[in-house]
Structure 1
């Protein structure tokens, strides 16, 4: 696959994230966190923590349309060592990109990359349950829910 890939969908491009994308990616995180749709481990993230996680050892990709980052994902082995053959990804879609198929495109893109990288399976550790379209799409792709973590209201 090339470094820059057009999806043909809304003139959107999914490409490897670059250092220059950090501010735009962080803005997406902040917006999602304010909406309450962020994975639970994002609660204490500051920008530097986010940068180290998303520009560290795992590959990160962004979905861009007309210069705006509408979504992103991070892909890598679910666990190091003997867990290398199970891929895992974290996805975030900007509120500006919701309902446009951005998440579907990111998941399809990541599954393709995971397969090319030698992964035999993919596991999503966190899918925010109130994002019903994400849950339905994952189930349509053959994923199963094997556990639910409830939000602590205290």
Structure 2
């Protein structure tokens, strides 16, 4: 599946599914109804930010997107974090699988990240299966850490995958 760096011109193509996924409130700990400015700032950081955003597209249509960044600054910058979203209209076509290794492992290794973690959020069974296939392990679960609109309070999983045995201390993921 074709993958490339996201540009500002991609925002109109991914904003509708970003908005719908946030409004559904089932997977991300984002506000349910962020303003246009808040939504863009959450997903499309300025070029100067230490973040990396890619899109998966087919025939000019954005199918999904991944956002990768250093989990923390300073002495925690060697741990990469990433989130990805796939347009619900295009789920089941491999965009999530294509975006996941692109976002985490390839880019993180090039930035000398030693490990990768997912931000704490509600992970669906298909997403958990994908993470497992990619070598991620659940480190722990925060009981009732997410308020799902239909299921009530459910646990938040923290997942991890080692990328290398050595990482450069303070290596920023850019």
1:66-112 Cα deviation digits (max 9, x unpaired):
11111001111001111110000011000122111110110111111
Partner residue in 1 for 2:78: 85
**Number of paired residues?**
142
**Distance across 1 between alignment mates of 2:35 and 2:17:** 13
Q: Is the 8 A contact 1:72 1:92 kept in 2?
A: yes
Tell me the equivalent position of 1:64: 57
- Determine the structure 1 residue equivalent to 2:127: 134
2:38 aligns with 49
State the shift of 1:150 in Å: 3.4
Question: In proportion to residue count, which structure has more strand?
Answer: 2
- Residue 89 of structure 2: SS of its match in structure 1? helix
Match of 1:23 among 2, 5, 12: 12
TM-score by length of 2: 0.74
Gaps of 5+ in 1: 1-11
TM-score (norm 1): 0.83
Whole-Å Cα distance in 2 between the matches of residues 35 and 151 of structure 1? 12
CA contact 2:79–2:117 (8 Å) conserved in 1: yes
Name whichever structure is richer in helix by fraction: 1
Are 1:14 and 2:15 matched, yes or no?
no
| RMSD of equivalent CA atoms | 1.9
Q: How far does the alpha carbon of each residue in 1:88-142 deviate from its partner, in whole angstroms, 9 at most, with x for none? A: 001100012211111011011111111111111000013433x211101112222
